[in-house]
Structure 1
């Protein structure tokens, strides 16, 4: 624990998971002010928006983390995209008045780039984390040049070893329970991925860098269990989505606070890559895992008009309601109060 604290420069070995689309600098700053490490997700931010968010975080004068995806953008497959849109159109256009076959395309989430690295260098964030592996060596070195601590997610022991060998200072062991996108990058086979209770001790034994546990923790009991299995710290995401400082949508908050939160599933229908969320109508009818979905992140644009129309009707059946399996344990607490409650699990 002491090694992790010295790396993160925080009072607590707790990290708020970066959650693109549902939070910004407001939540990250509140968590950092409470003594943990707040995280800013950058995958959906333009350079201008990222700069503005970093300026707000810098003003908080507390350590923080900036998170990026580092996937390789796929080559567009027009036939696959058209087939997916046609299937969606036949199923939902008449009901919602949409035209999904002709919905505008878009890149969706963007990976870490040289432009982002140059922008970050101006702010020199103390921690930078990645999802889906690590960026190219030159980009990673650019981050390390100002002394940033580098973290990344592993869903298998092989990925944890790879991350340590390629320059990660901290490995985040992401159990299968975790909400949002799976961090796998060496193999797409979901059967290789383990629940946190099985994954965490194996990763701890396999690497020498600090290991942070992620997935299935929403209160002090989960934190205590992860620390007992050898974690140097924990990363919590879903529990923070009900905080007033989060930007979680109305339909998403309602789902998290309802009995529906007890049933989550991995799905690729929203983005093209497996991610865990509360089971809803579009997941049931189109997946949850659909071989026809365009490659990540190209699937995002096809559903966008349907999601917008449904949310305008206060309907979350076409929205990505990202959540981990411990979602029913979440409570609508201010971020500082939740952070203190989680920290109680650090005491033996």
Structure 2
């Protein structure tokens, strides 16, 4: 079985490691590769079929896709791979014709019965003169025409039995069965309150991985709607978890989210100012936060002073490591350096159409 797994750009290595660990946990054999065909935010997983015996002694196939959907914290989608190729031309007519022929000549009938309703969901990224809707239409036509050889196909755009996922990223085309459904895995069911700039849960978990937590206390000094802290608590983290938020509206929302996730009692929420951390605790082992930047803060001119004051205060209490996200590269690096911290790791992560900088400091 070959799966195409999606995640945020810049955390493919962490997602690959997670998938590898999940395969070991389930005693599954396979190989995992990041950035297939050079495409960021994508992972191949080629996994051998596995079987188990149910309570009645009947041999059943282990549902690998379902297992990953249920247990991954870093993936967005789990797609059963049908076929992939590099398109030779991106000129509209030739490209769409090439996609149609490629899909039509693929073994569609092995993945969807003619009696099952289907729909195509598409994704396009890159410089093209056509849209993702054009891709969905041409792929849908190819699938319909192919399945017509075996009966009368059923199209249901709203509630399909089978969702085909067609992606064109630059000149690379993927086609598969989307086992995740219309809602990405990073959209957690516990989120009942939306911060105007909330963090994807997958990226929050990437930050947790980068922090290399060892059981010490953890704080998010600008916790917003609580994503990092809630995801940490859901992982069963046993150290003290502290959230600080300046705005009462967001603090209330964070508590609502934590309650919906069933982890409210595991997190200490404080109404406070991140530039006054030493008023709330003498020390903390780890600090993780998606810092205010750009549209998040409204008045961008306030960011340099805010960062400088925050890292100055953090220098008084941080014992081990901090992990922070921002678009303000120059500003954060100045604040980190002038307050005695060292950058241990830096990477770019795709988030909400932006490339944000992730820093691990100590």
Q: State the TM-score, normalized to the length of structure 1.
A: 0.28
Relative to its length, the structure with more strand (as a share) is 2
Q: State the TM-score, normalized to the length of structure 2.
A: 0.28
Higher relative contact order (CA 8 A, sep 6+): 1
Relative to its length, the structure with more helix (as a share) is 1
